Amino acid sequence: MKKKTADKWDRRYFLLAKRISFWSKDPKAKVGAVLLDKKGWPIALGYNGFPAGVEDNVEKLKDGKLKNEMIVHAEQNTLLCSGSRARRGALYVYGKPICPRCAVLIIQAGVARVLGIKPDPERNPGSHTHRTGKISLAMFEEAGVDFVPIDPKILKSRKRKRGT
């Protein structure tokens, strides 16, 4: 049976994706991702940034149009680093709802389970991020990819029992 809710390991990997998001030099969007293989072992980490060898200078990062044309999304970075090992794996994405261009790659790579931030109709329902996030969710459903929404609030510091 497929897991439809997050457990303590899901929380840990989602927290790791959050930490990885801080590696991004993008001043507006910090997105991190962790990809597990089909056995649950981490195989790739990614964050949004320019391709390897392309300088992360302030001018490029401040020019929104140029930045958006050049940036590699966190999800794309993990998939590019994992090759065929992504098949039947799980992907944890922190920072923003998944865009359609990443959803397409996730589906094509054969990822079975995605845990991420669901588009929030309470926050800017007409926004580009909300609209495209809904498109991604519809594609996941149609393609049979399990999407488990994670509320970023679960990452807030709190006292926990040892081992969680």
C-alpha to C-alpha distance for 93 and 113, rounded to whole angstroms? 11
Q: Round to the nearest angstrom and report the end-to-end CA distance of the chain.
A: 23
What local confidence, expressed as pLDDT, does residue 120 receive? Answer: 75
Beta strand ranges found along the chain (DSSP E)? 32-36, 42-47, 90-94, 113-116, 146-149
Spatial CB neighbours of 129, under 8 Å, sequence gap ≥ 6: 96, 97, 99, 119
Helix (H) or strand (E) holding 106: helix 100-109
- Give CA 25 to chain center in angstroms: 16
Take residue 138 and report the two structure tokens written for it: 């519809």
Which active-site residues does the annotation give?
A: 75
* All structural domains of the chain: 8-154 (3.40.140.10)
pLDDT value for 1: 38
Under DSSP, the state recorded for 37 is -
Contacts of 110 (CB under 8 A, 6+ apart): 86, 87, 88, 89
Task: Give the mean pLDDT per block of 10 residues along the chain (164 residues).
Answer: 69 95 95 97 97 93 93 97 95 96 98 92 75 93 96 63 54
Q: Dihedral, CA atoms, 129, 76, 95, 13, nearest 10 degrees? A: 140
Q: pTM of the predicted model, to two decimals?
A: 0.88
